[in-house]
Amino acid sequence: MACENETAVVLREAGQKVTPQRVHILCEVRHAGVHITASRLIDELRVSHPFIDASTVYRTLASAADLGLVYETDMGSGESEFEWVGKDRHHHLICRSCGDVESLDNSYLDGMATLLYEEAGFQADLGHFAIFGVCKGCQTKA
């Protein structure tokens, strides 16, 4: 029940109406433990809430992304994936060869944001990145 209460508080603080559907959807994203696509989220939600409408899920995810509650990222699968933001902002390194995904601390891009501001007067929103390349293991194999 703690997740539902915390999620309701977050929604209220963001100026959003708290509905059971929004709370269920966002709790499912919070506890997914991995990035989750909208279609997979709908499948998982329908196990316990068989009448949840897909359009409600898509609208809730879009609204939550606009509010900065979830990240929407193209992780290379062809479908947007969602992740609860939480307190520890991070980015991802994705290997094009083996598909491995590693988290990258936000501090790596903090310097870029500072440099962009100092040199170009541009305040960058570096919320969440998926950076593609080749991991050390695949480079060693090649």
- Per-residue pLDDT of 25-69, as tens digits, reads 999 998 887 789 999 999 999 998 899 999 999 999 999 888 888
DSSP label of 107: H
3-state secondary structure of 127: coil
Question: Tokens 């990240």 appear where?
Answer: 71
Q: CA-to-CA distance for 17 and 29, rounded, in angstroms?
A: 18
pTM of the predicted model as reported, rounded to 2 decimal places: 0.69
**Domain limits of the chain?**
2-84, 90-141
Listed residue (79, 80, 27, 33) closest to 71, CA to CA: 80
pLDDT higher than 80, residue 75 = no
pLDDT the model gives residue 46: 92
Q: In whole angstroms, how large is the CA radius of gyration of the chain?
A: 17
Q: CA-to-CA distance for 47 and 50, rounded, in angstroms?
A: 6
Look at the chain and count its residues.
142
Across 10-30, average pLDDT: 89
Domain 2-84 sits in CATH at: 1.10.10.10
Token reading at 54:
């897909």
Tell me the pLDDT tens digit for each residue of 88-112. 667 788 888 998 888 887 788 788 8
Q: CA-to-CA distance for 65 and 14, rounded, in angstroms?
A: 12
pLDDT the model gives residue 1: 53
Q: Do domains 2-84 and 90-141 have the same CATH topology?
A: no
CATH topology of domain 90-141: Dna Ligase; domain 1 (3.30.1490)
Q: 18 with 8: CB under 8 angstroms? A: yes
What is the overall mean pLDDT for the chain? 85
